[in-house]
Amino acid sequence: MALIEGKKAPDFSLINETGETVKLADFKGQNVILYFYPKDMTPGCTTEACDFRDKHEDFSKLNAVVLGVSPDDAKKHTKFIDKHGLPFSLLVDEDHAVAEAYGVWVLKKMYGREYMGIERSTFLIDTEGNLIKAWRKVRVKNHIEEVYTYLAEWEVTQ
């Protein structure tokens, strides 16, 4: 299924760091910032998570919830959240089914080695579950500010 801005975002049902089941449908009435990242505790992923943490209150004022998704297990997510004081849930996608549904489970290359992994990406989903905007191959620097600005401008037009 191709993701098309303005169309329904793929629904999902994943557990979070506490083992609680989280579904996209749980957030009807709120905007959802769904970001996919490769691995807890790595430099780029830590910077991205902390940037979302630091902007969390501003996103809340725009009726938005932040959810991170990676293949790491709940125990690793809990450590990551505790170490960095993250005020949002991290979802477990060990079988990468949701990453595949969003088209972010891709062939990657590093140091001449090929492997399957998460392509750092962010999806903005509106209060009705429609995909508003997709950012793919995200560079962490200034990304959260870009997401915030886009959401703030989009909110004004609604």
- Distance, CA of 78 to CA of 15 (rounded, Å): 12
Residues contacting 51, CB < 8 A, separation 6+ = 140, 143, 144
- Distance, CA of 38 to CA of 28 (rounded, Å): 27
Annotated catalytic, 50?
no
Please list the alpha-helical segments (H only) found in the chain.
43-54, 56-61, 74-84, 97-101, 143-157
The answer to whether 125 and 112 have CB atoms below 8 angstroms apart is no
- 24, 45, 144, 151: the active-site residue: 45
Q: Tell me which residues are annotated as active site.
A: 45
